[in-house]
């Protein structure tokens, strides 16, 4: 844990209790206790979970932040770029680790805070913005943000608006209103310098899902650019797909995987598309089959594998071969009843968050069956 800054004049650091430093994997409970006692907060949280532990169990991470967030708890923990820290409210790190953007719980005072990393090891607040300043419809709960690869801009969803903001002054540079659609997610492209933004949409009437891309500018750093246009057209990357399906974009934006749910057979069809970086169009590449009722699909950080649910376990499939490459990971907790971390019948879609690519031990977080904790597990290739 980080210590509070003693300087009264300096900006307040991000509260230290939202950051958990991950200890190296310790399978022995005695060794764990001797190390964890030096950090009372971690130790107190871990005491309730006695052995035997499930495979790869390490530590439970609260999904809610604060005592008053039971009705609208933030469930989006974020890994630091080097994979050594977890922030367990909705935070997102910039690609270079220099910025940390925090979203408070949904409510009338929901705010976005941008913090900058300093040489003394703190993330100090740089800007703060009221998320509801531009929205008069009441509370808004589906908050999502992303930070540009250059760490200069942040894109945020507010109701039916998508706002592109400058991290230094929080001014809205460009915005677009997408009516009659639910906006699931926004994501900066990692493959161009045009500040293009992928948008995952769902039609409010037909429930069909589509992927489009928005080009706020051809070159956002062009000093001569003063076009105030806020209704820039969207380019379709993937045509609308059936409402029962699920698709996910790879981390490098080069692929889309679409899973079409099949209510008759024992398997679901999965289609892999490649995205042309120049035209931003999707081309079908191949298809393979996954076990039925596997609605949660995720790309691993290196974009080589897909994580999915298989026979009440978590499994990995190789994108190139379409075959499973690791032993399925058990998802039972350590209670006498041996309940699963997530209930297959009532909660068929566990939330999974991977640590960044490049680490020697690859980890991910998976939500439990109460949706109040995330559990840390490791995975390896065969």
Fold of 244-382: Methylamine Dehydrogenase; Chain H (2.130.10)
Predicted confidence band of residue 67 (pLDDT cuts 50, 70, 90)? very low
| DSSP state letters, 285-338 | EEEEEEESS---EEE-TTSSEEEEEETTEEEEEETTT-SB-SPPBP-B-SSTT-
Q: Which two tokens stand for residue 312?
A: 């009440």
pLDDT of residue 59: 46
pLDDT tens for each residue of 33-51: 554 454 455 445 544 444 3
pLDDT of residue 70: 34
Does the pLDDT of residue 2 top 60, yes or no?
A: no
279 backbone dihedrals φ, ψ, rounded to 5°: -95, -15
pLDDT of residue 42: 47
The whole-angstrom separation of Cα 309 and Cα 160 is: 32
- Report percent pLDDT > 70 for the chain: 47
Domain ranges of the chain: 244-382
pLDDT of residue 150: 85
By residue count, the chain amounts to 382
pLDDT of residue 43: 47
pLDDT tens for each residue of 323-359: 887 667 765 544 444 444 444 444 445 667 777 766 5
The whole-angstrom separation of Cα 275 and Cα 278 is: 9
Residue with tokens 């006695």: 50
pLDDT of residue 305: 86
pLDDT of residue 57: 44
pLDDT tens for each residue of 191-235: 666 678 888 888 888 888 888 888 886 544 444 444 444 445 678
Give the chain's mean pLDDT. Answer: 66
Of the candidates 228, 336, 301, 240, the one whose C-alpha atom is nearest the C-alpha of residue 82 is 301
**Cross-strand bridge partners of residue 275:** 282
């Amino acid at each position: 844990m980080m210590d509070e800054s003693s300087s009264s004049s300096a900006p307040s650091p991000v509260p230290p209790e939202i950051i958990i430093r991950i200890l190296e994997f310790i399978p022995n409970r005695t060794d764990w206790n001797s190390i964890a006692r030096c950090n009372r907060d971690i130790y107190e949280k871990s005491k309730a979970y006695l052995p035997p532990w499930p495979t790869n169990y390490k530590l439970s991470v609260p999904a809610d932040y604060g005592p008053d967030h039971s009705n609208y708890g933030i469930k989006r923990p974020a890994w630091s770029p080097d994979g050594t820290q977890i922030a367990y409210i909705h935070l997102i790190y910039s690609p270079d680790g220099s910025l940390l953007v925090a979203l408070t719980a949904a409510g009338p005072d929901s705010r976005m805070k941008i913090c900058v990393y300093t040489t003394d090891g703190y993330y100090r607040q740089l800007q703060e913005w009221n998320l509801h300043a531009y929205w008069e419809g009441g509370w808004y709960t589906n908050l999502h943000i992303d930070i540009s690869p250059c760490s200069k801009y942040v894109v945020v969803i507010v109701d039916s608006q998508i706002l592109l903001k400058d991290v230094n002054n929080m001014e809205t540079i460009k915005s677009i209103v997408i009516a009659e659609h639910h906006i699931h997610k926004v994501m900066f492209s990692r493959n161009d310098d045009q500040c293009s933004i992928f948008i995952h949409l769902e039609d409010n009437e037909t429930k069909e899902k589509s992927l489009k891309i928005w080009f706020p500018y051809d070159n956002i750093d062009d000093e001569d650019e003063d076009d105030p246009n806020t209704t820039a057209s969207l380019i379709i990357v993937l045509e609308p797909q059936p409402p029962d399906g699920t698709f996910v974009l790879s981390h490098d934006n080069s692929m889309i995987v679409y899973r079409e749910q099949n209510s008759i057979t024992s398997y679901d069809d999965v289609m892999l598309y490649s995205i042309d970086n120049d035209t931003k169009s999707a081309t079908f590449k191949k298809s393979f089959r996954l076990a039925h009722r596997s609605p949660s699909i995720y790309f691993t950080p290196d974009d080589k594998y897909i994580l999915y649910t298989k026979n009440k376990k978590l499994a990995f499939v190789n994108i190139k071969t379409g075959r499973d490459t690791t032993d399925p990971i058990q998802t039972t907790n350590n209670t006498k009843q041996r309940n699963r971390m997530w209930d297959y019948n009532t909660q068929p879609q566990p939330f999974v968050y991977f640590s960044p690519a490049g680490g020697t031990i690859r980890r991910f977080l998976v939500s439990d069956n109460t949706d109040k904790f995330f559990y840390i597990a490791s995975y390896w290739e065969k």
